[in-house]
């Protein structure tokens, strides 16, 4: 039997309530960190718009362009393998 990771793959439906829970988390946060995404797949692609609507900080870490780059407070195009451990080290201090 094939194994499937506990993630939603491209083309699959989100589990019931997942998007609503994500919106609530963005609403209750200070920053939305978008990592390695084109931010073009709906409905999750609307989370950055929600973050900006609720005046949250928007940070995008990805090599390519996203539709939300002009709205981002931070845009990092560095190698994610290099930047994520450094970023985690700063956050976990």
Q: What is the CATH number of the domain that holds 51?
A: 3.40.50.1220
Report how many domains make up the chain: 1
- For residue 16, is pLDDT > 80? yes
| 51 within domain boundaries | yes
- For residue 79, is pLDDT > 90? no
Q: What global pTM score does this model have?
A: 0.84
| 52 within domain boundaries | yes
pLDDT tens column, 59-73? 999 989 999 999 999
H-run or E-run covering 19: helix 18-27
Q: With cut-offs at 50, 70 and 90, classify the pLDDT of residue 10.
A: confident
- For residue 18, is pLDDT > 90? yes
* Polymer length of the chain: 93
Residue 55 token pair: 């005046």
| 55 within domain boundaries | yes
Q: Note down the domain range covering 42.
A: 27-91
């Amino acid at each position: 039997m094939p194994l499937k990771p506990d993630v939603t793959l491209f083309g699959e439906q989100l589990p019931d309530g997942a998007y609503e829970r994500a919106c609530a988390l963005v609403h209750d946060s200070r920053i939305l960190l978008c990592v390695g995404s084109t931010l073009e797949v709906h409905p999750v692609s609307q989370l950055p718009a929600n973050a900006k609507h609720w005046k949250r900080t928007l940070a995008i870490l990805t090599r390519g362009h996203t539709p939300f780059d002009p709205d981002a407070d931070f845009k990092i195009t560095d190698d994610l393998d290099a930047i994520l451990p450094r970023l985690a080290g700063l956050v976990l201090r």
